[in-house]
Structure 1
C-alpha cells in the first residue's frame, strides 16, 4: 500500500519524474504505469471497444495527492481537461489531513432494473399478484446469471410502483433489485429484466414495454465527510462565508447546478480515469439531487461547535471493477492499480472523497479570493499554448496574462509577439 500520498513538490517535476515518484510511493516498478505514457490504447484495441473507430482523443491524467480515505493513504488518478481541478482537490485533501482526512461509508451494491407494464386493468390487483409471485420471479432472474449468484450477488427483491401517466391512466412499474457485487451492473440487471418481463406481463394481465436499468441508483449510495480547522481555510470568517455560500446551493437550483458541477469535476475525472461510465454516474448524481422534486446541492456545509468546518456529500455511485473499459482499457487498469482498491465499493468511496474535496475547494475560493484567481492562473497556460507559445515561452506568456488581468487569446498573441520581438 502507499506509504504516503503527501508527494510534496510534485508540480515541479516533469511527467517522467512524477511517474517515478508515484511508483516509489506505491512500492511498485514503474512498468505498470507504461499505459499512461502513450494513452495505452492501440488502434486495434479501440476497434474492439466501439463502432466506426476513426481514432482516439487524449485527456490529461493528473495525480491527486494528499488524500487519506478511511485512514489509508491514497493516490488518485484524475482524467480531466479543466485546469485547477487536480490541484484544488489535492490542496483540500492536505488541509483535511490533520483531522484524519476523509471518512466514507457505502451501502450495498444494489442496482435496479425497471419493467414497464401497460394495459393492466387492475393496477393494484396486479401489484399484489406480482408480489405474491416474487419468489418465483426472483429465481427466474437469478437463473440468468449463475456466476453472479455464485459470488454472493444476484436478484434480491421485487418492488412494484403505480406511476400516474400524465396523458391519462397509469404505468405499472416493477423494480428488480439486484446485488451486482463488484460490477457496475448494467448488463446483469438488463439481462434479468428482459428474462422476467414476459412472466410479469402474464401475472399482471398486461403487456411489457421498457425493460432496462435505472441510473437513479438510490439504493447504492456513498457518503463522505471531512473536517478542516478554520485557520487552514483562512479563518473563522471564511468558514462562515463558506457555510452561507453553500446554503444558497441548497435553496436555489441556479446555484445548485454550478455547485454540483464542481462536485462532478472531481468525481467524473476519477470515474473517467478508471474506465467507468461517466454518464451513468452523472445521471445518477443529478437525478438524486432532485429526488424531492426540487434540484438541490448534493453536499452540505456546517460549522461544528468548535468552529471547525464540516462538509458532507452523499450520492449514488454505480462504478465497477469488472467488465467494460475498466478491464479492456490498459490505462484504466493502470489507474485502478494506482488507487490500490480491492472492491468496487472502495473505489466508489475514493471517488466520492475526491468529489467532496473538489467541492470544498470551489466553495472556499468563492468565499475568499474568488474563483478566477487560481483558476485563471492555470487557464492562462492553456491560452498561451493556443496562441502558439512554445515550451520555453509558455510560462512567460501565462505570467503576463495573469498580471494584465485579461486571459484572452488575442492578448496572448500580442504578448507572444512582443516577447519574440525582444529576443
Structure 2
C-alpha cells in the first residue's frame, strides 16, 4: 500500500483537531479526492468531519480536514484509508524472462536475478579488459625489444624489399632481450601472454622471439617513438598494465572480490545519480478491521436476569438535583430485572460463560446499543 503523508494539528478550539495532508499517493488526483471525501461525508459514510478545504499554494500541497470535537483522528483516517484514495495499491507486473522463460517473480527473485546479471556483466567486461591488457603488454614487450636493438632493427628494415619481408625477418630472428629481461622479471607470476599465443614466441632460449603482431607494431612505430625517452614511457606503461592484469585476475578468481566490485559500482551510481526517496517504508502488519473504525468510548453494559444484554451511553444515567422526578435508564420486560451492570470501554473484551461451561468472547462495541426505553 502507498499512503498519503499527513500530520495532525490542534485547532484553536479546545479538543478539536485537523488532519493536514501534505503529499498524495502516486497518480492520485487531488480534485477527485476532495470530491470523494465530500461525497462520503454527505452520504454519512464517514462521520466526524466538519470542514474540508484545500490550502495548496506555490509552497506545496496542503489539504485540511477539520474534525468534530472529541473525534479521534486515527479513526477518521482509517475510514479515509478504506473508502478514499488516501491509501492505494500500486500494482507491479512481476512477470519477467528468466533463462528464456517467463516467470512470476517476487522481490527477492528480482534482486537475485539482477545481481546475477551484474555478475555476468562484470565478469564479461573483466575478461575483455584482461585480454586487452595482455595484448598491450605483449606489444610493449616487442617495442622494448626493438628499442634495445634499435640499430639492428633499422638495418633489417632498410634492407628488406617490402613491409611483409621486413615483418617476416623480424619474426624469424631471435633478438637479445636487453632491458626486457628486467620487465619480464618484474611481471613475475603475472600471466601477460595473450590467449592463443604460440609457445615459440616470447622469451625463448637465447633471447626473445617476436610474434607477427609485435613485428607489425614495430613497423607501425613513428620515428619519434625511437628516442631514449620512449623507453621510460614503455616501462611505465608496462608497470601500469601489470597492475591491471593482476587486478582483473583477482576479480575473476575470487567471488568475494567480484561482489566487492559490484557493490562499489552500485554505490557510485547511487552517490552520483540517486534522488532522495520520497516515500517511507514502514512496518505495518495489521490490516484495517472493524475495531479500527470504532471510536473508543465508555459504555454502560447491563445484563438482565432473563439473559438480555445491551449497552448504553453513560449520559442515560445522568444525576438529577433534589426534587427531580427521576428517570428510567433501563426498562425490562415483565418480571425481568437488571442482574448485572458495569462500565467498560467499547474496545474491551467481555468473557461470556454458558450454562454448559463454555466461554465465549465478545467486544463491548458488539453488544447491541439501546436507548433507555428499550
TM-score w.r.t. length of structure 1: 0.20
TM-score w.r.t. length of structure 2: 0.22
| More helix by percentage | 1
* Structure with max Cα Rg: 2
